[in-house]
Amino acid sequence: MDNTFQLNDVDMGDDSPTADPTPGSGVSASTECTPDVHVNLVSPAVVVSRDGAVASERRLIAFSDIAKRLDLGSNKLVLDVPTRWNSTYLMLKTAIRFKEVFPRYHRVEQAFLWVVSPEQWDKVENVNQVLAVFNDVTNVVSGSDYPTSNLFLPEVWRMKEIVDIKAGDRNEYMRLMSAKMSDKFDKYWGESNMVMALAAVLDPRYKMKLIRFCFPIIYPLDTKGDNIKGVLSTLKELFEVYVAAHNASIIQQQVAAEVSAATTSVASVTEEVSGGRSRFRQHVRSNDIIRPIKTDLDVYLEEDVFISDSEHGEDSDANFDALGWWKSNALKYRILSKMARDVLAVPISTVASESSFSAGGRVIEPHRASLSIDTVEMLLCGADWVRALHGIKKKSRIPKMVEVELPNVP
């Protein structure tokens, strides 16, 4: 996702000066995009210096006074963080909120030499509509400590949808940018990602309804039917594998029970009663092998999708635990629940694993370099479980947003 969006594809106009975005020199219109996402487009750097330090109290007060008179209801500026691409989105979003302030600030601050034109503001707002979707998707995927694979498909189709919409934009710069983004998208998602699709089906909120809804958006019309059939076919084939494993386990238990019964003495009444219970369990297991008319998968797909508690709205849906739902319904879907547990456990992001490697450096240190693999695993997992039990969040190692609060003006 990081390399899909290129701001340097957006031409902000030939008359854009390349002023240095230092205090009082104006806002640079450069859209040059380097690997560390250095974007000065409509940056709030009009009142702050390049390194984030306050340029001058006088300029901040002047800017804040104009914002207060316009009753914008916002008193913070967001600066770009080179290692966080979404800070660019938040910076531009903040700049758009203050766009009426810049021309007025130009009148009172002689060193402010450049003002964004209405046409350029339109371009910024148009580009930010795309960034907003990518920002939301990033928050969904990275906002959870344990992002399960069912979370991704509902977000992927949103990205494809916004790219396709912008591909038909009346502005050439958006069409060119969307074409490059679409090529990148098709490179990774041109073929159906089966794990992602199966995980979505095994989310009781979606099932096959989400596949039938979003596949026509993600894939060409001439292939969407085959892709949908492919998902259903693969789902059934995978389920048969789990059915076979389940039956093999039951047969193994029956053989073990028969061997045990053959070698057990029935000398006492207690043993006879116990033997009766064993024979009954053996009878239940043998009947369990008989295939029902409808399988777990058939029943699951025929039932309506799960609707989260309406009282909590979106928050309830966002906090939905798919693995917890399958655990609660394990008795109803004895075989399918095992399959769902394995599929949903597939991570959709490397963030969690990368975080584990970072944490390993705090466990294995020069003074504790001889710990066994089992001990290290117990320390990492134990700490993780304790944090989850008590609702303790890990400290984020991601750089925080740089915000500058405007002073209160009487």
**pLDDT band at residue 397 using 50, 70 and 90 as cut-offs:** low
Predicted confidence at residue 231, as pLDDT, reads 93
Average of per-residue pLDDT across 184-194: 79
Give the residue extent of every domain in the chain: 1-141+400-410, 148-343, 349-393
Predicted confidence at residue 237, as pLDDT, reads 95
Residue type at 64? S
Other beta carbons within 10 angstroms of residue 98's beta carbon come to 21
Which sign does the torsion angle of CA 18, 21, 26, 30 carry?
positive
Average of per-residue pLDDT across 5-14: 49
372 torsion bin: left (phi>0), alpha (psi -120 to 50), beta (else): beta
Residue type at 170? R
Q: Give yes or no for a contact between 161 and 216, defined as CB atoms under 8 angstroms apart.
A: no
Average of per-residue pLDDT across 46-65: 61
Average of per-residue pLDDT across 234-245: 94
pLDDT digits (tens, 9 = 90+) for 316-373: 567 788 999 999 999 999 999 999 999 998 876 655 554 555 555 556 667 667 778 8
405: helix, strand or coil = strand
Predicted confidence at residue 386, as pLDDT, reads 86
Mean pLDDT is lowest, of 110-119, 265-274, 372-381, for: 265-274
**pLDDT band at residue 52 using 50, 70 and 90 as cut-offs:** very low
Query: CA–CA separation, 247 vs 208, rounded Å?
Result: 27
pLDDT digits (tens, 9 = 90+) for 251-267: 887 777 667 666 654 44
Predicted confidence at residue 109, as pLDDT, reads 82
Phi, psi of 171 (to 5 degrees): -90, 130
Query: CA–CA separation, 165 vs 133, rounded Å?
Result: 12
Based on the number of CB atoms within 10 Å of its own CB, is 159 exposed (0-12), middle (13-18) or buried (19 or more)? Answer: buried
Q: Give yes or no for a contact between 336 and 297, defined as CB atoms under 8 angstroms apart.
A: yes
Q: For residue 53, is pLDDT > 60?
A: no
Average of per-residue pLDDT across 304-325: 73
Q: For residue 219, is pLDDT > 80?
A: yes
Cα–Cα distances in Å, from 117 out to 121, 122, 293?
Answer: 6, 9, 69
